[in-house]
Amino acid sequence: MTISSSPRLTTPVTDRDHIKGSPKALVTLVEYGDYECPHCGRAYSIVEEICREARDQLLFAFRNFPLTQSHEHAEMAAEAAEAAAAQQRFWEMHRILFTHQSELATSNLLQYASRLGMDTEQFRHALTTHAFRDRVHEEFMSGVRSGVNGTPTFFINGARYDGPVDVSSLSTAVGLRRRPE
Amino acid sequence: MSSITTPMASQVALEPGAEAPDFRLPSTPDQMVGLHEFRGRNVVLVFYPADWSPVCGDQTTLYNELLPEFQRLNSVLLGISVDGPWCHLAFARDRKLRFPLLADFEPKGSVARCYGVYRLQDGFCERALFVIDEGGIIRWSYVSPIGVNPGADGILAALEALVPQEKKR
């Protein structure tokens, strides 16, 4: 048995997702990522660059895919991002997590919440009760069902992207015109 | 299209409906595992080229994350490559893998050949998946392009097709 087309996203982007860009954009880019994965760390600035250039031509959504057996802090970091989302600080926390990948212990996560001016008691409670574990697991399984096979995995308009992860390749794949250098 | 047989003709993976060939391979330097030991449970066989792929979040890492899902579906996962048992031991420890890695080492690739997934010119296995039911029959198989990690969606779909509705959570 062979598969002739690339795997497809089983769960489309909805308002439950963490999104940036325009919901009216013709192109949707979804990333499944792990905050402790170095490849995802490298991809973070690449995606930032693409979102910056694309502005409202692109809708970007990030979904959690923590590799908990390989990355000790990945699950808690994912839950921290969701807890930040509950306080409307998702993208700020997302940026801190990806730019501090070797500092993802719970004590670090609490500091980041404080730095972002969040309600730290609410945040701490969310982490200790694992309030967002089910949500993270749901995203993880949606990724598995969609054919996520490692981190990061990207889907462009619902089709898994298997090309190189660099600004030039990704921006070509999402149909952006590159500005002349 | 007629098939051309040459000394290095590529193999054809066993299809659904075929009986899964039994085998006995080392799972550690001093333990052997036989496929027949798992009758009564579904078995997912993961043939892969080699240990020590440089990518984090590769196939073995992904399946390691999904062991609770496989267990829920009454399944056991077995990895197979032509690496020797000491290599598997080091690899499993490094990646914290909690499922057996079997050494199709001597004779080299003999089990992979039985399943039609030995790359004759390369001397290692295809990246191939087989789902075998409780009675030892292959119910799904898939050979991925060697450079593409096939993920777990096909495996889960195949297993869910085998599990009676009332057993699912």
C-alpha–C-alpha distance, residues B119 and B17, integer Å:
23
**What is the structure's pLDDT at B165?**
54
Model pLDDT, residue B163? 79
Q: How confident is the model at residue A177 (pLDDT cuts 50, 70, 90)?
A: low
The widest CA-to-CA distance across chain B, in whole angstroms, is 50
Closest residue of A to B130, CA-based? A1
Interface of A with B (CB under 8 A): 1-3, 7, 34, 37-39, 67-70, 140-141, 144-151, 162
| Residue of B55, B59, B62 to mutate when probing chain A, most A C-beta within 10 A | B62
Which tens digit of pLDDT belongs to each residue from B39-98? 999 999 999 999 986 654 588 999 999 999 999 999 999 999 999 999 999 999 998 999
Higher per-residue confidence, B38 vs B2: B38
Percent residues over pLDDT 90 in chain A = 88
Question: For residue A179, is pLDDT > 70?
Answer: no
Question: For residue A90, how many C-alpha atoms fall within 13 Å in the half-sphere facing its CB?
Answer: 15
For chains A and B, what is the number of CB pairs under 8 angstroms?
70
| Residue-wise pLDDT tens digits, A57-110 | 999 999 999 999 989 999 999 999 999 999 999 999 999 999 999 999 999 999
Say how many Å lie between the first and final Cα of chain B, rounded: 46
Mean pLDDT of B129-138: 97
Predicted structure pTM score: 0.86
Instruction: Give the pLDDT of residue B52.
Output: 87
Nearest to B151 among A39, A70, A147 (CB): A147
Alpha helices in A64-166 (DSSP H): 74-85, 90-99, 106-115, 120-128, 133-146
Q: Confidence class of residue B149 from pLDDT cuts 50, 70 and 90?
A: confident
Please tell me the predicted confidence (pLDDT) of residue A162. 87
Peptide bond into A152 cis (omega under 30): yes
Tokens read off for A154: 């990207």
pLDDT (mean) for B151-166: 87
State yes or no: pLDDT of B30 exceeds 50.
yes
Here the ipTM equals 0.80
CB A79 within 8 A of CB A126: yes
- Say how many C-beta atoms besides its own lie within 10 A of residue B95's C-beta: 19
Helix H or strand E encompassing B159: helix B153-162
Cα–Cα nearest to B128, from B8, B25, B43, B13: B13
8 Å CB contact of A70 and B57: yes
Structure tokens at A12: 């489309």
- Tell me: pLDDT of A40 over 70: yes
A153 vs B168: which has the higher pLDDT = A153
CB A118 within 8 A of CB A87: yes
Dist CA A152 CA B135 (whole Å): 37
pLDDT digits over A112-151, tens only?
Answer: 999 999 999 999 999 999 999 999 999 999 999 999 988 9
